[in-house]
Amino acid sequence: MRETEQRAARAYNEQFGNEPDLVASAPGRVNLIGEHTDYNGGFVLPCAIDRRIAVAVGTGEGGLYSADFDEMRRVGDKDDSWADYPRGVGWAMGEAGHEVGRFGAAFSGDVPLGSGLSSSAAIEAATALAIDALFGFGIERTDLALLCQRVENDYLGVGTGIMDQYASLLCKAGAALLIDCRSLEAQSVPLDLTAAGLTLLVCDTRVERGLADTGYNDRRATCERAASTLGIEELRDATERDLGLLSGAALKRARHIVSENARVLEAVEALENNDFDVFGRLMYASHASLRDDFEVSTPELDTFVKTAKAHGAIGARLTGAGFGGCAIALVPEAKTAAVTNAAKQAFAEHKFKDPAFYEFVPAAGAELAQPKS
């Protein structure tokens, strides 16, 4: 078992007084390209990261325990804490007609919280996989992802798309995942960064944001209005020609979606051809579109992208929802230290918070670490 998984199992034992029935874990993600396209029925290209949330569960005594916060919460009602994620999963399963019995769960993880690396999807996905196995429901992974999305949409009231939960449950190690968010079909796209001599550098601006209090729901509403003006279901179906029928914010948001969907497909082709220069250019173009048309960037994210470019990154962009959180850069290995140092310095000069940096390779999706015996 991984370290986080062992910690969760130990915590379960300490809190509930016996061995857990099983342990599951699920990763956070970075999105390589394809932002805000998921809830428009479009394309995204995330990969899982080697930071996970593990959960140990058993059918004995009920309760939700976080080893990281050293805190026990009841399975019961919503209380605006971390425990709402696993509670929401139980709720969504019940809504889907599955009879969730009494269970106890202990969590432990190392996904940075609230920084746009999908810690919430990780805890939802780990819980969903664990409860599914614990009660033997046999739910397909894609349906587990949809259940987890319901937690966000209908339990927590954030209109997120399917990307994060889908990525956490279905990504494979050593690959990115092209997801068609309308059909929910996906294709693994091998991504061997080490062989290409590249680092996937993540800059956490440490500007925290909860999606509920940002412009996320507002962006989604504007996209839906633009689609209805065009007489289509989703902006996935909008063409460049259609854009002429829109104006103001609707035009800008729709222009981003149309161009971003095209970039995702080009990016996949670039990866298939091992053409990282093209891939990198698409990342920069994606960032510019998110900054100028979708208007979800921040001075911190822009500063990182600009600095990374000036110091040799072949591509960089904000990742996730924006409004703070993280940016990523593809950097030749030999230049990674220079990019990191220059970004630190630029942040200091602007009197931004001290950023955190991570390097990731595409990691495995959710797994049962210790199947029910």
**Residues near ligand GLA (CB under 6 A):** 35-36, 38-39, 160-161, 163-164, 320-321
**Residue of 177, 135, 160 lying closest to 216 (CA atoms):** 160
Burial string for 220-233 (b: 16+ CB within 10 Å, else e) reads bebbbebbebbeee
Nearer Cβ to ligand GLA (22/32): 32
Bin 183: left if φ > 0, else alpha if -120 < ψ < 50, else beta.
Answer: alpha
Q: Are 54 and 25 in contact (CB under 8 A)?
A: yes
Nearer Cβ to ligand GLA (145/238): 145
**Token pair in block for residue 260:** 């971003």
DSSP notation for 319-332 = ETT-SSSEEEEEEE
Which H or E run includes 287?
Answer: helix 276-292
Tell me, what DSSP letter sits at residue 333?
A: G
Residue 160 C-beta: closest distance to ligand GLA, Å: 3
Task: Give me the count of residues in the chain.
Answer: 373
**Token pair in block for residue 214:** 């940002």
Residue 220 C-beta: closest distance to ligand GLA, Å: 8
Nearer Cβ to ligand GLA (56/162): 162
In Å, how far from its chain's centre is CA 226? 25
Q: Which of 38, 132, 164, 293 is catalytic?
A: 164
Residue 296 C-beta: closest distance to ligand GLA, Å: 8
Residue 338 C-beta: closest distance to ligand GLA, Å: 29
Nearer Cβ to ligand GLA (88/161): 161
Asked if 164 is an active-site residue, the reply is yes
Secondary structure percentages of the chain, helix, strand, coil, to 5: 45, 20, 35
Cα–Cα distance measured from residue 153 to residue 48, given in angstroms and rounded to the nearest whole number: 22
Residue 38 C-beta: closest distance to ligand GLA, Å: 5
Nearer Cβ to ligand GLA (20/112): 112
Backbone angles phi, psi at 316, to 5 degrees: -160, 150
Residue 325 C-beta: closest distance to ligand GLA, Å: 9
Nearer Cβ to ligand GLA (90/320): 320
| Residues labelled catalytic | 164
